[in-house]
Structure 1
Amino acid sequence: MPLIDIFRALADPSRLRIVQLLREMELSVGEIAQVLGQSQPRVSRHIKVLVDAGLALRRREGSSIFLTPAPSAFAVPLFNLLDAAAGHDGDHWTRADLVRLAAVRAERAAAAERWFAAHAVEWDAIRSLHVPEAEVEAAMAEMLGGVLGRLVDIGTGTGRILELLGPAASQAIGIDRSPEMLRIARVKLDGQPYELRQGDINALQLAEGSADTITLHQVLHFLPAPASAIGECARLLGEGGQLLIVDFAPHEREELRLDHAHARLGFSDQQVAGWLGAAGLQLAETRSLKGRELTIKLWRATRRAAVKVKAA
């Protein structure tokens, strides 16, 4: 890509702001327009310039288009240059954009929470509409093996995964953002030695390296920034630990976004492997479970133990 095209694309203030926003999180065209306070057609023209210059990637999901920074050799030094030019706190445009971006994040989270609050009681039944839950649970138990150590189930919902895997763990913690879900889980798990906490997957109040096994069962598609969540899971995993993600393969069922607050319509192996690799984890095993309409994917990743060098 000619260097002149890159700098010409960044010469427009709006396009520079878009690049900075995409470094924070993947965004739809409509969300970028909302943050910038510009029309979608105008934002689309800016995006085309950035894509043509190799600075952004477009990804279609159902009827929505999502944007991410393009992976390239010049990206890191370019972003370092932008940060140095903006200074420690950024310019006034950056600060204002981040405030509006926080509102976008909050609205995404609120939409998911509204759905959870309305469907907490029937959550287990909704999940069973895809692949029979018993089949998914059997695959999870088989992939994880018999000894789980310190288990953390993130997005625990009604506590079913703790109920399933907890007996094989030395310690088990379930974390969910929804108080309605946790209320049901506490009733279901009454008398069981499992800990339930309310928490945000992007900032878990657990120590680094405090988990041996982490599960994300039908959680990732609700999240606005899956890569960030996987990074937080990697932070929690100790040496030799494992992360199991269970979610949908890519699909075009737009009603799941509209009616059930799904932020993402499934994930490809390439997407998940990329996020795992960026977080310092290695994809060890994948499985596919074909349902009537949707395919469930299971991805198991590990953190390698550090190699110890003997002293001479």
Structure 2
Amino acid sequence: MEIIKYCKALADETRVRLVNVLLAYELNVGEIVQVMDMGQSRISRHLKILAESGLVDVRRDGLWAFYRASEDGPGRDFLDGVASLLDGEELRRDRNRADKVIRERTAATRRFFDDIAPEWGRMTAEILGGLDLSREIRQRLPRCGTAADIGCGTGDLLEIMAEHADMVIGVDNSPRMLELAGERFPDDAHMSLRIGETTHLPLRDQEADCTVMSLVLHHLARPEDALREAARVLRPDGRLLIAEFDQHEVEVMRSDYGDRRLGIPREKMRTWLEQEGFSLVKSTDFAVNKGLVVVLYEAVKL
């Protein structure tokens, strides 16, 4: 019986604490060790039991593994049933530690992009090689009133988007990136640069007619949250263009380019788009350097 399996898996204080944290966050082993303040071997042993029971999912990403509470199936049904019982000072303290780890991770990512902002154009060109991604995006941009570049970086796409839209909004979480973007468009009343996270966009509901996310989602722990925000800020029938690496195993992208994910599988992207209310119109593949593949997705908000 499934219920006996699940109850046995949670018949340990440490595993209850792990599930409590993983219901809220996806974390790698190092981050979990930091939250729980326990040795890695002990944490790994308990995670193995939870994963084998079906209460925790493991996402393999190159040499790394990320853990989160099961998202669907009978394991998720069981967790939803007991979630209200996950209360108490120690469990709240664990969640607060996990939140701090996430905030520290976000701050570290912001510092990384602040530091490499002046070199970002060169670094991106090294990866893309002969692919003129800006041209490919330009060819797919509709004429519209308001266009938004989410994760605009130093603003390479903003000028192109201004050719197709009356108002262009650029959003990034790196102050240095936005500073460099602002230097390219001084006193431009048709350009609005806003600091913010892709998962909490500084845009009103249905403010944009077209949104672009170019090589952004692989930097996020939960890309689906960014797609949910893109759906929120787009009007019905609005166009979403996403350029993203297909899944790969080039670990140097993590260390040198700040990638959290080694690309995103096509099927996972299609699933996320459908879940967030988009219809995928077309996807196009482009082979680039290091054996990577960039996929350009064209979707419409239903």
Aligned partner of 1:61: which letter?
D
Listed as ranges, the matches of 1:214-225 within 5 Å are 214-225=211-222
Query: Is 2:94 aligned against 1:97?
Result: yes
Aligned to 1:151: 147
Flag the 1:3–1:83 CA change in 2: closer, same or farther, 3 A: closer
What is the DSSP-based 3-state SS (H/G/I as helix, E as strand, rest coil) of the residue aligned with 1:197? strand
Aligned to 1:295: 293
Listed as ranges, the matches of 1:234-253 within 5 Å are 234-253=231-250
TM, length-normalised to structure 2: 0.91
Aligned to 1:69: 69
For residues 49-71 of structure 1, give each alpha carbon's deviation from its aligned partner in whole angstroms, at most 9, with x where no partner exists. Answer: 11211122222222211123334
Instruction: Check the 8 A contact 1:131/1:295 in 2, yes or no.
Output: no
Instruction: Check the 8 A contact 1:159/1:189 in 2, yes or no.
Output: no
Aligned partner of 1:286: which letter?
S
Listed as ranges, the matches of 1:13-52 within 5 Å are 13-52=13-52
What is the CA distance between 1:168 and its match in structure 2? 0.6
Instruction: Check the 8 A contact 2:212/2:241 in 1, yes or no.
Output: yes
Aligned partner of 1:32: which letter?
I
**Alignment RMSD, CA only?**
2.0
Moved more, 135-144 or 36-45: 135-144
Aligned partner of 2:234: which letter?
L
What is the CA distance between 1:289 and its match in structure 2? 0.7
Identity of aligned residues (%): 33
Q: Which runs of 5+ in 2 are unaligned?
A: none
Flag the 1:233–1:25 CA change in 2: closer, same or farther, 3 A: farther
Instruction: Check the 8 A contact 1:131/1:289 in 2, yes or no.
Output: no
Query: Is 2:228 aligned against 1:227?
Result: no
TM superposition outliers: structure 1 runs of 4+ over 4 Å? none
What is the DSSP-based 3-state SS (H/G/I as helix, E as strand, rest coil) of the residue aligned with 1:43? helix
Distance (whole Å) between structure 1 residues aligned to residue 12 and residue 182 of structure 2:
53
Aligned to 1:108: 105
Query: Is 2:157 aligned against 1:161?
Result: yes
What is the CA distance between 1:259 and its match in structure 2? 2.8
Instruction: Check the 8 A contact 2:173/2:196 in 1, yes or no.
Output: yes
Aligned to 2:257: 260
What is the DSSP-based 3-state SS (H/G/I as helix, E as strand, rest coil) of the residue aligned with 2:152? coil
Distance (whole Å) between structure 2 residues aligned to residue 67 and residue 180 of structure 1:
32
What is the CA distance between 1:282 and its match in structure 2? 2.9
What is the CA distance between 1:15 and its match in structure 2? 1.9
Aligned to 2:135: 138
Aligned to 2:206: 209
Aligned partner of 1:140: which letter?
I
Distance (whole Å) between structure 1 residues aligned to residue 151 and residue 248 of structure 2:
22
Aligned to 2:180: 184
What is the DSSP-based 3-state SS (H/G/I as helix, E as strand, rest coil) of the residue aligned with 1:267? coil
What is the CA distance between 1:134 and its match in structure 2? 5.6
Aligned partner of 2:183: which letter?
V
Distance (whole Å) between structure 2 residues aligned to residue 277 and residue 5 of structure 1:
33
Aligned partner of 1:274: which letter?
T
Instruction: Check the 8 A contact 1:105/1:224 in 2, yes or no.
Output: no
What is the CA distance between 1:190 and its match in structure 2? 2.4
Tell me the number of residue pairs that the alignment of Structure 1 and Structure 2 aligns: 300
What is the CA distance between 1:30 and its match in structure 2? 1.5
Distance (whole Å) between structure 1 residues aligned to residue 207 and residue 78 of structure 2:
35
Distance (whole Å) between structure 1 residues aligned to residue 221 and residue 249 of structure 2:
18
TM, length-normalised to structure 1: 0.88
Flag the 1:127–1:133 CA change in 2: closer, same or farther, 3 A: farther
